[in-house]
Amino acid sequence: PEDSAVDVTFRMASTDAERADVLRLRDAVYVQDQERLADAADTASTFDRFDGLAQYIVGYRGGEAVGTIKVVPDSPLGLPCDDTVDLTQMRPGNRLVEFGHLMTLPTVRSQNIGMALMREALVHSVRFHRATHILGDFFVDDSGGLRDFYRDIGFVALHEPYRDVRFQGAPLSLVAALDTADAARRARAEEHRGNRLLQFFFGDYDSYAAHPKGATHAHPTPATR
């Protein structure tokens, strides 16, 4: 599935220009294309309050930013999805990371760039944060459930669908969690060798999980909030 993204390079947004690219993508997707935000800065008091600890991975094609994903490691500040779901039972003994703001320009949709961004975020989360669980706040499908894409990887919904008032005219949302070690075990099992999505994300899990980089928490994961 990664073939369509071979000409895309990925890097962390660390410069002013790269951070400006993130805002341009947000304006192009959430404001201009989907009309779910009135302004790209509308998330300053919600999602962006975690930006002191979060990382944005940006995909570039020919020098143009074409997609991004936000990686938020758990900390004493908690996670964006704490506003929706109680993670008290999940936190002890685990390391949580939430993905958010996965978006690609309308002109590059259906080219697997979003999937490649999610893969980059997964590898980064396991290597740098030793993530045991990935969380996401996803829009539901037409049936009101978690989309097949996420279920095929192994995400499990943590609550009933809800209306996210931060986005105008959006579908209902669901917070879901993925157990990375369990997904890796399933990827190794013979009956799941044909699951291309699972193999794309977790087929080489042992390789990237065995070589963590800077895998320490500046803020220990809290047991409770």
DSSP 11-40: EE--SHHHHHHHHHHHIIIIIIIS---SST
Q: Tell me which of 146 and 167 has the higher pLDDT.
A: 146
Percentages helix, strand, coil for the chain (3-state, rounded to 5) are 35, 20, 45
Mean pLDDT, rounded, for 60-85:
95
Res. 77 pLDDT band, cuts 50 70 90: very high
CA-CA distance, 24 to 67, in Å (whole number)?
10
Q: Tell me which of 128 and 172 has the higher pLDDT.
A: 128
In contact, 145 and 157? CB cutoff 8 Å: yes
Q: What is the structure's pLDDT at 4?
A: 59
Residue type, 187: A
Across 91-95, 105-109, 150-154, which has the greatest mean pLDDT? 91-95
- pTM for this structure? 0.87
In contact, 53 and 77? CB cutoff 8 Å: yes
Residue 85, pLDDT > 60, answer yes
In contact, 147 and 157? CB cutoff 8 Å: no
Structure tokens at 151: 């279920």
Mean pLDDT, rounded, for 183-204:
95
Strand 133-139 with 64-73, pairing: unpaired
Q: What is the structure's pLDDT at 221?
A: 33
pLDDT digits (tens, 9 = 90+) for 101-121: 999 999 998 889 999 999 999
Lowest-confidence pick of 6-10, 59-63, 123-127 = 6-10
Res. 223 pLDDT band, cuts 50 70 90: very low
